[in-house]
Amino acid sequence: MRDTFCLLILLGILSCNRTELDTVEPEYRDWYTLKSPIDQQIQGVWGDRDNTLLIATTFNIFRSTDQGRNWQEVDSQQSGISGIIEYRDTLFAMNGLMTEQDRQVFVNAGKYSVDDGKSWTPYRKVNLFFDKWSAIGPVTHQQLYANPVIAPNGLSYKINQVFVDSPMATSGHFETPGVITSDGREIVLPQLHQLRSLYLDSKQRLYISGTDAVCGRGGKTGEPFSFCNSRKGRGVVYISKNPLP
């Protein structure tokens, strides 16, 4: 009887450890990962893993100088944040995302920073860069691209949308298993996530922002939708270990 009781306790401990295990590894063969310090999805990222990184969650901006091991909250916005872009020596926190000609572009600058993201000031619509691109129609400024992103050699990288209802579907429930390139390659991530945006740093490494790993896929799979390690989809960013080919 005593042995049975001890076995039940041991099984309970092992079960607790399994539920606390994070399914997203700190790194994979081709990728580093970083995670949001709060249970919110990561909408966008800016910077360099080896120096300063900024992530935009739904309503907050966090800053790290130690490869994402520790984060400092540097701003919050009630209007929501879709991503961060750099124009010349200024960073802008963008409040919107617009789909245009099969591209997603950041719109509506809400705040700006001139000290590498340490502090943020409300933007008063005084930068001609934003006025110019919004007045001339199609967006050609690649700084504003959330998806796809374009490398200096002209190759584009785009979030892959796979519609699950039918191989021929062009709308409805879809998943985002990774990235596709304009030369026909498919980059599949180690786990399934809901991907939000892409970014290239100065070393031409690819950053892929999105949610926590997805365990319950929903849709027509017959299982309820759920994230593996969080309730609201705590964000994850994949960072390629090497520059893009």
Handedness of CA 129, 131, 134, 136 (dihedral sign): negative
Tens of pLDDT along 42-58? Answer: 999 999 999 999 999 99
Residue type for position 25: E
Whole-angstrom distance, CA of residue 106 vs CA of residue 101: 14
Angle at 183 between CA 179 and CA 187, to 5 degrees: 25
Q: Check whether 148 has a pLDDT greater than 80.
A: yes
Mean pLDDT over the full length of the chain: 87
Look at residue 220 and give its three-state secondary structure. Answer: helix
Q: Cβ distance 20 to 12 under 8 Å? A: no
Structure tokens at 127: 């930068």
Handedness of CA 112, 77, 196, 72 (dihedral sign): positive
pLDDT tier, 119 (very low <50, low <70, confident <90, very high otherwise): very high
Q: Cβ distance 222 to 231 under 8 Å? A: no
pLDDT of residue 4: 45
Q: Cβ distance 40 to 58 under 8 Å? A: yes
pLDDT tier, 186 (very low <50, low <70, confident <90, very high otherwise): very high
| Strand 83-87 with 90-100, pairing | antiparallel
Structure tokens at 208: 């892929």
Phi, psi of 216 (to 5 degrees): -95, 110
Phi, psi of 32 (to 5 degrees): -95, 155
Phi, psi of 58 (to 5 degrees): -60, -40
Where does residue 68 fall: left (phi above 0), alpha (psi -120 to 50 degrees), or beta otherwise? Answer: left
Whole-angstrom distance, CA of residue 55 vs CA of residue 57: 6
Whole-angstrom distance, CA of residue 187 vs CA of residue 196: 16
pLDDT of residue 227: 96
pTM over 0.85, yes/no:
yes
pLDDT of residue 205: 97
Q: Check whether 17 has a pLDDT greater than 50.
A: no
Nearest to 200 by CA among 129, 133, 148, 159: 148
Nearest to 180 by CA among 161, 195, 164, 165: 161
